[in-house]
Amino acid sequence: MAMVTAVNARECFIARMLVVLAFAMLMPVFASVAAFAQSDLQAPEPRVKAAFLFKFGSYVEWPPGTFVSATAPFTIGVMDADELAEELETIVAGRDMDGRPVIVRKLRDGDPVTGVNIVFIGKTVDGKLNGILAAMKGRPTLAVTESEGALGHGSMINFVVVDGKVRFDVSLQPAAAGNLKISSRLLAVARKVMGAS
């Protein structure tokens, strides 16, 4: 009887250790998801969106030839959202994206997006949104917006505010047209994903 109890105790101990080990291995994934999910508006909305923009770059697989060299910078363009651009400049200062320096460019109407990896288009250009997104179609540039209905016009990620929290929706078709593959880890924390099988 004592031997059976010892065997049961050892099996319980091993089972508990396996649970602890599995939890420890999954902690980085949980932490990453939690970082996306906890984006309430206690911080100013432009700061939260700027932080998301910086993080998005790590969750996209860029096609071969996107960067001209191993040390070419990762460039984030911001159009008609100067406050967000300033927040983003603060966030990226001294940081890199997969070993590349990060540059923030303020874009104006008509500026080319060649060499820009992520373009954020603010609300103030809603009337011109279709033209801007059409010009980016098929390019390996992640188009991020904050306008209602933008996904239907070719945006790949669109910010929304729900219950005081910044969330985002994703459209896979325009991303695929630009040969961009968005990580399933990012899709898992999106509010809505269009074009998912």
Residue boundaries of the structural domains of the chain:
1-38, 41-194
Q: What is the DSSP string of 24-72?
A: HHHHHHHHHHHHHH--BTTS-HHHHHHHHHHHHGGGEEPPTTSSSSTTP
User: What is the predicted pLDDT for the residue at 182?
Assistant: 98
User: What is the predicted pLDDT for the residue at 165?
Assistant: 95
Give helix 82-92 / helix 45-56 axis angle, nearest 10°. 60
Phi, psi at residue 15, to the nearest 5°? Answer: -60, -45
Architecture of domain 41-194: 3-Layer(aba) Sandwich (3.40)
Q: Would you say the C-alpha torsion 32, 39, 124, 188 has a positive or negative sign?
A: positive
User: What is the predicted pLDDT for the residue at 17?
Assistant: 45
User: What is the predicted pLDDT for the residue at 119?
Assistant: 97
Q: Is 179 exposed, middle or buried (0-12, 13-18, 19+ CB in 10 A)?
A: middle
Angle ∠(117,118,122) on CA atoms, nearest 5: 150
User: What is the predicted pLDDT for the residue at 43?
Assistant: 81
Specify the DSSP element, H or E, that contains 61. strand 60-61
User: What is the predicted pLDDT for the residue at 82?
Assistant: 95
User: What is the predicted pLDDT for the residue at 128?
Assistant: 84
Q: pLDDT 10s digit of each residue in the chain, 197 long? A: 444 455 455 555 454 544 444 444 434 444 444 455 454 546 899 999 999 999 999 999 999 999 999 899 999 999 999 999 999 999 999 999 989 999 999 999 888 888 999 999 999 665 689 889 998 999 999 999 999 999 999 999 999 999 999 999 999 999 999 999 999 999 999 999 999 76
